[in-house]
Structure 1
């Protein structure tokens, strides 16, 4: 698995930035985590179904990471590599004490860092204690972006 090309989170406290080398801010359980993929064309060499796992981050008291599949994922109806996929994973091993619910917004950002509305997708609120795996697509075959999101990496993350 390749290392990510660049990772940056935004709006952080100085303490978080000093501890992790990144910046982030959490507002009422919400956090912005920004990935900048430099030299995107080079990531297309990653085989279909293989991901680039980005470093973990903390939001709402839980540890998460983002998986980036530059050539899509492998599945019965998804053997083609004409789209990118992003997964959000809950990493916590101690999440069994309470329900872990999450909602994510995935956006392609323009050159100024603003979300492009036609490439922005908000997931439903997902309860990780009920769903081991959740996926959705935002566009039809042939378009650049399909957003896949919210997945749980441990079977014991529960309610």
Structure 2
């Protein structure tokens, strides 16, 4: 059974003299089944809806069963996230709880609010204690209707027929092609036995570490060749691909798809590289990948890595996993467990606190 349902409605375009006002309004029906199953996954952990389209823009909704950060565990939090480029896009939003017969209630209809810049990712807070005592949670599921209304204005020059379904020529902008061809490259990295060419300004624009290395007071900034130590060439190339593409879909993960140990090892090494060069978004991509593949075989190495590189969300996920019945015993048998204890000497103390702490809310 699908956890998510979709209902989308659109309004027509209307015009007034000298100005065209485009109003598109759509509703997305979100059904969360198995509410109790998601509780306890930890603050900052979310479940994302499929991508849906309203007003010609793509959207998704992130559901945080235990809040999006520490201190917000008493709330279920919903964040409306635009997938399309929505810079400076203003919208009107509405959030309504629905009973299982499809009827809404004024007590659970949040006032419509205008968001001048949807890129700020507006949040809706639902107190879990209130939800659990309401008629809207039934059969361990509940439903919410999100309404998004987009308003755009501009000069009316001529009357033309336009359909948003018309094909638009794809952009031919590709920084990755510069990386692959090396055209215009002005710096070389020696990684193991490989020489990898890149572009200083692109690297500096994406990484504060590279910026300081090339244009700051760091030693060796004027060198044309830079030796990279303690990193495999494949990892360095994967990191550069992210820098040039800004895409979470990295070909290097596709190459090891279906191979769980290889995927985990790749994500671990890439996380270290991301932390080394100050690439926080790539770091989060690797954290998410490691969380998805977390099991008793890799928990010790993943937890040690999370502690070493200050990945608080990943560390919390590991700790909540290891406190589950029988997991600690299995993890303790792993060869990496002793190394993990060396890296994280307060492990047992924090685990006891986690097991004995009362529920915060």
TM-score normalised by the chain length of structure 2: 0.30
Residue in 1 that maps onto 2:33: 38
Cα distance in 2, alignment partners of residues 53 and 38 from structure 1? 13
Q: Residues 52, 105 of structure 1: CA spacing in aligned structure 2 closer, same or farther, 3 A cutoff?
A: same
Q: What does residue range 24-103 of structure 1 map to in structure 2 within 5 Å?
A: 24-27=8-11, 28-74=23-69, 79-93=71-85, 95-96=86-87, 99-103=88-92
Cα distance in 2, alignment partners of residues 135 and 111 from structure 1? 24
Name the structure, 1 or 2, with higher relative contact order (CA <8 Å, separation 6+): 1
Give, in angstroms, the shift of residue 107 of structure 1.
1.4
Give, in angstroms, the shift of residue 134 of structure 1.
4.1
Q: Residues 142, 35 of structure 1: CA spacing in aligned structure 2 closer, same or farther, 3 A cutoff?
A: closer
Q: Residues 111, 144 of structure 1: CA spacing in aligned structure 2 closer, same or farther, 3 A cutoff?
A: closer
TM-score normalised by the chain length of structure 1: 0.64
Segments of 5+ residues of structure 1 without an aligned counterpart are: 11-23, 151-159
Which of the two has greater helix per residue?
Answer: 2
Segments of 5+ residues of structure 2 without an aligned counterpart are: 12-22, 133-145, 149-361
Which of the two has greater strand per residue?
Answer: 1
Residue correspondences, number? 123
Q: Residues 6, 134 of structure 1: CA spacing in aligned structure 2 closer, same or farther, 3 A cutoff?
A: closer
Is this contact kept in 2: 1:82–1:143, CA < 8 A? no
Find the structure with the greater CA-based Rg: 2
